[in-house]
Amino acid sequence: MDEDRPAGDEDAPRDSGPRSVGRDRHETPLERADRNFGELLQELRVTQTGVQILFAFLLTLAFTPRFPALDGVQRATYIATLLLAVLAAALFTAPAALHRALF
């Protein structure tokens, strides 16, 4: 029997230091899901800003003097990259929009 645990407390989980922080919160599964969703939204907001900057940069490339000199493969790569940036921006915006609609 461990000396640091009280008698009759064999089934209680041991405090294993920093890794047990999540168990000390005393939150319901629904509260944990809400907290995790809020943290996910914060992370997505940071990523969304980066995607929007990339998208704005890609939009400005079409107005540069060298853009008309691109060949077909380079234009196709540009259009594919631009469309993927639009898709990424939409996907990163969707959870925040959903959260605002729900709350």
Q: How confident is the model at residue 17 (pLDDT cuts 50, 70, 90)?
A: very low
In a domain, 46, yes or no: yes
In a domain, 3, yes or no: no
Q: How confident is the model at residue 39 (pLDDT cuts 50, 70, 90)?
A: confident
In a domain, 89, yes or no: yes
Exposed/middle/buried for residue 54 (C-beta within 10 Å: 0-12, 13-18, 19+): middle
9 pLDDT above the threshold of 70: no
| pLDDT (mean) for 31-47 | 83
Q: Which domain holds residue 70?
A: 29-102
The total domain count for the chain is 1
In a domain, 11, yes or no: no
In a domain, 92, yes or no: yes
15 pLDDT above the threshold of 90: no
In a domain, 86, yes or no: yes
In a domain, 22, yes or no: no
The type of residue at 69 is: A
